[in-house]
Structure 1
Amino acid sequence: MKGIGTDEDVILMLLAARSNDQRQQIKAEYKKAYGKDLVSSLKSELGGLLESLIMALMTPPTSYDASQLNKALKGAGTDDEVLIEILASRTGEQIKDIVKVYNKEFSAKLEKDICGDTSGHYQRLLVILLQGSREEGVDEGKIEKDAKDLYAAGEGKFGTDEEKFITILGNRSAEHLMKVFDAYKKMCGTDIEDSIKGETTGNLENLLLAVVQCARSVPVFFAEALYKSMRRAGTDDDTLMRIMVTRSETDMLDIRDSFKKMYGASLYTTIQEDTTGDYQKALFYLCGGND
């Protein structure tokens, strides 16, 4: 970064190819050696999408999730896609940490902010997920009952008992839900997703489907979200960036495998077709290079 111009390649190699822990250590050592804040220095050297991506990479993961939720909630309108993606896909421990960090960094309660921006059954399910306290393991005695209750709450009656869907899908463990979905399919001959689509609409439908998909496979959930972010008219860089940053150290190789199976194209080539320049190079590092 010294002198005129910036060597973006070195910045990418040193930051995009490191873990977040390593980036935090580099940040601390940089401050010691040069008496400057690395993030501020990077901000003044970079611009556009590359700057946004590098700033995201320099933020500790929990702080990044908290800041994305805050951004989704503040100002006019709510970015429900972000709320749904984060709350449906994170583990109970991660959600509890996000709530603490949100409180600390924004001097606000996440639950209160969510309740101020949402309503109805959608709000109820978000608040349940926000507790980060799903039951653990599989309760064999409840599998059949849960499947029957879901059927009775939707397909089996005129109208829908949303509360039943919310309680079961919001509180049971992923392993338990997988068995409930199998029992449901045997009983009704249809997938739970089809019932949700037929019985609910809008944000509640999207959130229930995200919860079901994450119970089945988190990598598949993100592979689909990545595909959609790049196959719209124009690229949804906010979503693309958020997923690449948050999953690069978690399950990116599984996401890549799922992406290839689902769409017959590699994540690498899809990124290649939809992005350019140093921003593209950084995304290549995050997806683990050419497969």
Structure 2
Amino acid sequence: MCAAGREENFEVDQDKAKKDAAQLYNAGERYWGTNEAEIQRILAIRSYTQLQATFEEYNKISKLGIDGAIESETSGDLKDGYLAIVKCVRNRAAFFAERINHAIKGLGTNNDMLIRCIVSRCEVDTVKIKEEYEKAYGTSLVDAVKGDTSGHYKHVLVALLGERSS
């Protein structure tokens, strides 16, 4: 999946979307057993805009939709990986807001996840992630990070989010 060479164009080929949706359906919920190689091929190489169109086409031919099909046809890390791709395709900023919230909610902090999410997105789409976080969780991302971290660690994360720490 990591070395698949995702297409980077923004044009959508509707015929390809229909064909890919049918191939995903046949590889998953249509027949007994799951053809993970076919699902991985499509999810790994198609551009995000092409995948958006494919998921729309998939929803037209499936009762479960792409999310439901993944839920019913896969399990474990494979399911989590496929669902992460689907969520990123739909709204990357919302996906990272969810991951950050998962890292800081409850007792303790998943520092590895928190660092990975903030550092990997800090110069890419932090503003959108902060907007999605506040929309989803009713508090600012900066306040959430400040409330769950301390010391120099807190100051660095807050700075990466584009704010000053107090």
Q: Verify same fold: TM over 0.5.
A: yes
Give CA-to-partner distance per residue, 1:212-250, whole Å, 9 cap, x none: 222222212211111111014310112212222221111
The answer to whether the 8 Å contact 1:143/1:179 transfers is yes
Q: 1:204 aligns with which of 70, 78, 96?
A: 78
Asked if the contact 1:184/1:190 (under 8 Å) is kept, the reply is no
Q: Provide the secondary structure at the position in 2 that maps to 1:144.
A: helix
Q: Which has the larger radius of gyration?
A: 1
For 1:184-263, list aligned pairs within 5 A: 184-263=58-137
Please state if 1:161 is matched with 2:35: yes
Per the alignment, in what secondary structure is the counterpart of residue 192 of structure 1?
helix
Paired letter, 1:149: Q
2-side partners of 1:218 and 1:199: how far apart? Answer: 24
1:134 paired residue among 7, 29, 32: 7
* Runs of 4+ that moved beyond 3 A: none
The alpha-carbon deviation at position 174 of structure 1 amounts to 0.7
Q: Deviations over 1:6-53 (max 9, x none)?
A: xxxxxxxxxxxxxxxxxxxxxxxxxxxxxxxxxxxxxxxxxxxxxxxx
Structure 2 residue 29 is the aligned partner of structure 1 residue 173? no
Change (3 A) 1:179 1:248: same
Q: Structure 1: where are the runs of 5+ without partners?
A: 1-125
**Percent identical:** 37
Pick closer, same or farther for the CA change 1:135–1:266 going to 2, 3 Å. Answer: closer
Compute the TM-score of the two structures, normalised by the length of structure 2: 0.88
The match for 1:55 is none
- Pair 1:276-2:123 in alignment: no
Letter in 1 for 2:101: Y
CA offsets per residue over residues 259-289 of structure 1, 9 Å max, x none? 1122222111211221112321222222122
Q: Any conservation in 2 of the 1:143–1:176 contact (CA below 8 Å)?
A: yes
In structure 2, give the amino acid aligned to 1:263: Y
What amino acid does structure 2 have at the position aligned with 1:212?
A: V
Where structure 2 has 5 or more consecutive residues not aligned to the other structure, the ranges are none
In structure 2, give the amino acid aligned to 1:134.
Answer: E
Count of paired positions: 163
CA contact (8 A) 1:271 1:280 kept: yes
